[in-house]
Each structure stands twice: as C-alpha cells, then as structure tokens.
Amino acid sequence: MTHAPHPDNRPDDPASLTQTGRMLRPQTNGCRVAHDLSGVWSFRLDPDDEGRERGWCRGVPEPVPAGVPGSWNEQVPGARDELGPAWYERRFELPPVGDRQVGIRFGSAVYAAEVWLNGERLGEHEGGHLPFMLPCSAALADGENVLVVRVDGRLGRDRVPPGLVPAEHTHGVTFHPDVSFDFFPFAGIHRKVELVATPWLGISGLRLETVLDGAGAALFVQVEAGEGEVTLALDGERITSPHRVERERLWCPQSPRLHLLEVELRRGGTLVDRYTLPVGLRVAGVEGDRLLLNGEPVELRGFGRHEDFPVLGRGTAPAVAARDLLLMRQLGANSFRTAHYPCDEETLDIADRLGLLVIAETPAVGLYFADEDLPRRQELALRFAAELIARDRNRACVIAWSVANEPRMNYPGAAAALGQLCDAARALDGTRPVGYATDLPDSPGVDAADVIFLNAYPGWYKYPARLETAESALGEQLDRIHGQHGKPIVITEFGADAIPGSHADPPALWSEEYQAELIERLIRVAAQRPFVAGTHVWAFADFATAQGTHRPQSINFKGVFTRERQPKLAARRLNILWRNHADR
Ligand code: GCB
C-alpha cells in the first residue's frame, strides 16, 4: 500500500482537483460533500453562436426551463435537430462546505462544454459520456452563485465520434443530422452535475486489484493521499494490503457480493478524510481461446445497450437503468456492452449489485483513418480510453474494455491505430482483456485484441430472410476467425429489426417472429462452439436514430424491448433459451 502524497495534490493546484474528480467519484460523508445540482435549469439555444460575444457567461437572457440531466432534442419543442451551441444556467446558494476545496463535476456533457461561475471561466471539457471536474474555490460567492455552461453538440471530422464524414468512410448511408453512426446525436447535460467539496490534501486516488492466489484471492489496495496515516477496513474490519479473501467471497454473476471498503486518512490522530466504496473482488482474464472469470470459463449472455429513452434522450435516470438491468436479469442474461460510449456510473452501480458482466466501450464509434484530422481523432480516442479506464477501473462488473466500435479499416494506418488504442488500454489497466467491436474481422489489426468482439448480421444485412443460410454463414465465419486467431470470440452484435406488433407466419423480415427465430438460431450456432465466449443481441431496446430512408420512424427496431421497454416476442424466446443457466 502506498500513501505518499500525490505530486499533483497541492491545495492551489487546479490539476489536483481535476485529477481527483476523475479518479474518485463524489460522495457525501463526514469529511466530504457532494451537492447535487440536477433539477430545472435555464436553457437557450444559440444557433448563431453569439452568446459568448453577448456575455451570456454571466447569465442567460430569455431562457426556457429545461431538465438536467436530459438531452434538449426531445425535451425542448422544435429543438430536435439542433446540435447547438446552447447555454444552460443554474443558480444555487452555497451549501456549508467549510474549509474544503470545491469543484463542479459533470457526469457527461455532450459533446463539449465550457463552464463559468459568477462570470469567471472555470474551464472546458471535450467529449461526452465521461466525467470532468473543474475547480471553483476561488470563484464561489457566499450567497447566490450563477453557474453557466455552454454546450456544443455539433458534429465534426475532428471529433470523436466523428461526424460529417465523407461517404466513402461510412457504411454508405445518409442521415440527417449527418452522423456516420447509427444513433441520434443527442446533445445536452446528460448526467448529474455536482458541487463537490473535499478536504485539502485528502485522499485523491484509489486503485484496487484482485489476484487469484491458491484457494482464494488477494486484494491489493493502493491509496494516493496527502501526508498522514492511511487505514483500511473491509466490512468494518481493519485490513492491510494485500488482503486475502476466500473463494466464496469472490464476486460473480451467481453471487455478486459487494464488500464495503473504507479508507481513512488521519493527521496527528485527527480524521482528515474518509472515502468508502462498495467493492466486488474478482479476476477477469483470457487463457487460450477462453474468457475467464475467477479462473473459470465464463459465457456472456446479453445485449448491447444504448442510453436512450423518450423525452430524456440520452439523459440518464436511475429508474430507467434499474428497469433495464432488472429485465436483463429476469430474462436470464448475465452481461451487456455499453454501446457505443461509457454508460452512466449509477448504471454500473446497479450492474455491480446484480452481477452483470459489462464490456465497457469508449465513445470511439465510426473511427476512420483518412489523413484529414486523423492525429486529432486518434489523440481524442486515446484520451477518452484513458478517462474511461480512470473512471471505471475499480469496478467489479467491468470485465473488458472495448476501445472502438466498427472502425473503418479501408486505410493503411487503420491497423496500427487500433493496435495503439489496444496497447494504451492494456498499459493503463493490465487486469482486463481489451478488444474492439468489428464487423471486419478479416482485416489486419484484429490480432491487437485479446478477445475478438464480432458484429455480424447474417439473416439481416447479409442473406436477409434466409434463416438457414444465416446459420451456416455464421458458423463458417466463427470457425474461420477462430482458426486464424485462436482467441475467444464474443459476438457483440447480431439481430434483426422487428417493428413492434408486426407479425408474420412463416416469419418474415421486420416481424417479431423473424427477429425471435433468427436470434434463437444464431445463439444455437454459437453455443456449439466453446470458443464463443458470449452472445450479445443487438439491441436491448429500440432506440432513436437520425433520420434516414432505412430507419423508419427514425428508430432502430432491433430492440428485444420497445423504446418504452415493453417486450417483443424475442424477449420471451430469450427467456426460454437462457432461463436454465446456472448463473442466472
Ligand atoms: C452495427 C452498429 C450499430 C448499429 C447496428 C445496426 O453494426 O455497430 O451501431 O445500430 O449495426 O442495427 O445496423
């Protein structure tokens, strides 16, 4: 265990708080305050981008009310296709923070945010779906405070995920707004905003690692903190690092045990800081062509899941996350992928509690490798992977990183760029397998992954309406990939659109029967192959897309549940297939 002062952790160093915010999620206890600023904010679109010039950073004129968290697109009438910039304002009285360093932490603002407090610029952050903290002690007023945020959700080739991408680097479909990915580019403040007060020179970082060790495991705890004495307790008992635990105490889908880790920092006998964390102890890895959990082969059964719900857009709500993950468990699923970006932290809290195994994906969907702006996109993809790993590295539920989804491989630099992303993730966290979801498993670059995440649509985009051909095509593809690489394969996407209420006998494209039948047949093909370590149906629920002629009602209907979370036939079918698994 180390508890040397973190070099960045100096009272007047803004970087220290930013770093702390990334690594330690806010909490309220006797030493720390996390004051939730969610609620009704003031909002105004700024399509001409004149707000800066007009001084809106001191207060937004003629606003409308808007809920945070939430996207503005389905919330504010008329704003559906507007991607900003837009301005948000929230006034608050300073809660009793005492003599602590204070920052404002955003769970996610899509795509870029610039923040002012009482007219003073606090900073900015690029990239959605990942938290950032801006120190604000010096700008705080004792009474009322005016927090203003400019959010820019516009698309660009120099952003990740990229937008306005030339057609030769997309799947060849045209959307409005002009995205190269298949989900609506919702914009806004999508997750909690918190005013966070932490002790000066307190606990700034925590890193956990569980290692199998004979009949049990050893938990290593590394604490970064200011000067002083650090103590650890697990479930109320003092421990030191490494700490041995028996096998029955390990976390797994059948038994998602969480233990309460308490870290305390004392100076001269006085308690200075305290941080608590529910932790699951488990080990994820790959051996040969098997994916392992706690040293045993594990099979992932589940879905790709978007954060998407009517009116909220991509704004998160714990009730929606709880319903989704409870439904997954009820069906017999044990896993999901956070497609195509990191999911909300409260969703991961639920996954930890329910024993769901998560493939955590970065926002790097639709990467392409043409020269224009390439260094910028790669820099962002690397940065976002690092931010994701910093946020989620101590999570039991997260068992693998996916560093991209369906990168276009038609440029010579593609394989090297993917290799660099995988290596970077492994260098930051050597405790989990790394991969990227690909629809092009025969391209160079695949070897950079520890697990092959395969997106495949036989029976839909390929061989539509031909169920038997779809089965044999998937079988051949799996055997070929396995023969070439000898690695475990998780089928991270397969499925078919089913318009809710559309029925056909015999099964036909777009009907609930066809979707159910195709999913069942392909799962059976995978089940015959022990090197297939998982099947994730695309998708858990229907979700909004941009407008395009191939997306009726601007919805991707590959959900097993509707967008409102009502079951289609496929849900029943999956339940029959999955209900007898021991780790339900
Ligand atoms: C894919 C993409 C996913 C799409 C899906 C589809 O391969 O990864 O984002 O939504 O196909 O339904 O076309």
Question: Catalytic one among 224, 471, 493, 517?
Answer: 493
* Inter-residue contact 203 to 224 (CB < 8 Å): yes
With a CB cutoff of 8 Å and minimum separation 6, the contacts of 472 are none
Interatomic CA distance for residues 504 and 511, integer angstroms: 6
Instruction: List the alpha helices (DSSP H) in 332-466.
Output: 345-354, 374-392, 414-428
Residue written as token pair 């009907």: 511
**What is the 8-class DSSP label of residue 176?**
B
Q: What is the pLDDT, as a whole number, of residue 582?
A: 60
- Find out whether the beta carbon of 402 lies less than 6 Å from any atom of ligand 1: no
Confidence of residue 219 (pLDDT cuts 50, 70, 90): very high
Q: What is the pLDDT, as a whole number, of residue 581?
A: 80
State which ligand 1 atom lies nearest to the alpha carbon of 406: 8
Residue 576 has pLDDT above 90, yes or no: yes
Average pLDDT, the chain: 94
What DSSP string describes 282-310? --EEEETTEEEETTEE--EEEEE----BT
Q: Residue 307 CA to chain centroid, in angstroms? A: 9
Question: Catalytic one among 264, 307, 406, 512?
Answer: 406
Residue 441: asked if its preceding bond is cis (omega within 30°), the reply is no
State which ligand 1 atom lies nearest to the alpha carbon of 497: 12
* Inter-residue contact 146 to 136 (CB < 8 Å): no
Q: What is the pLDDT, as a whole number, of residue 410?
A: 87
- Find out whether the beta carbon of 182 lies less than 6 Å from any atom of ligand 1: yes
What is the 182 CA–ligand 1 centroid distance (Å)? 6
The more confidently predicted of residues 522 and 16 is 522
Q: What is the pLDDT, as a whole number, of residue 170?
A: 82
- Find out whether the beta carbon of 558 lies less than 6 Å from any atom of ligand 1: yes
- Find out whether the beta carbon of 361 lies less than 6 Å from any atom of ligand 1: no
Average pLDDT in the 248-273 region? Answer: 97
Residue written as token pair 């930013």: 18
Q: Which tens digit of pLDDT belongs to each residue from 402-450?
A: 999 999 998 889 999 999 999 999 999 999 999 999 999 999 989 999 9
What is the 543 CA–ligand 1 centroid distance (Å)? 11
Residue 37 has pLDDT above 50, yes or no: yes
Q: What is the CA radius of gyration of the chain?
A: 24
* Inter-residue contact 481 to 456 (CB < 8 Å): no
Q: What is the pLDDT, as a whole number, of residue 261?
A: 98
With a CB cutoff of 8 Å and minimum separation 6, the contacts of 346 are 316, 318, 321
Interatomic CA distance for residues 291 and 72, integer angstroms: 40
Q: Which tens digit of pLDDT belongs to each residue from 419-430?
A: 999 999 999 999
| Residue (of 479, 459, 576, 578) closest to 528 by Cα position | 479
How long, in residues, is the chain?
584
What is the 258 CA–ligand 1 centroid distance (Å)? 34
What DSSP string describes 463-494? STT-HHHHHHHHHHHHHHHHHHH---EEEEE-
What is the 512 CA–ligand 1 centroid distance (Å)? 18
Q: Known catalytic residue: 89?
A: no
- Find out whether the beta carbon of 493 lies less than 6 Å from any atom of ligand 1: yes
Average pLDDT in the 389-411 region? Answer: 96
What is the 558 CA–ligand 1 centroid distance (Å)? 9
Residue 481 has pLDDT above 60, yes or no: yes
Interatomic CA distance for residues 108 and 128, integer angstroms: 5
Q: Known catalytic residue: 114?
A: no
Q: Minimum mean pLDDT among 167-181, 222-236, 306-320: which range?
A: 167-181
What is the 538 CA–ligand 1 centroid distance (Å)? 8
Q: What is the pLDDT, as a whole number, of residue 17?
A: 40
- Ligand 1: residue of 183, 365, 556 to mutate (most ligand atoms within 8 A of CB) is 556
- Find out whether the beta carbon of 406 lies less than 6 Å from any atom of ligand 1: yes
Interatomic CA distance for residues 576 and 88, integer angstroms: 47
- Find out whether the beta carbon of 405 lies less than 6 Å from any atom of ligand 1: yes
- Ligand 1: residue of 183, 362, 365, 455 to mutate (most ligand atoms within 8 A of CB) is 455
φ, ψ (nearest 5 deg) of residue 181: -120, 165
Q: Closest residue (by CA) to atom 10 of ligand 1?
A: 182
Q: Closest residue (by CA) to atom 3 of ligand 1?
A: 182
Confidence of residue 583 (pLDDT cuts 50, 70, 90): low
- Find out whether the beta carbon of 73 lies less than 6 Å from any atom of ligand 1: no
Interatomic CA distance for residues 248 and 533, integer angstroms: 24
Residue 9 has pLDDT above 80, yes or no: no
* Inter-residue contact 381 to 404 (CB < 8 Å): yes
* Inter-residue contact 220 to 209 (CB < 8 Å): yes
What is the 220 CA–ligand 1 centroid distance (Å)? 39
Average pLDDT in the 133-147 region? Answer: 96
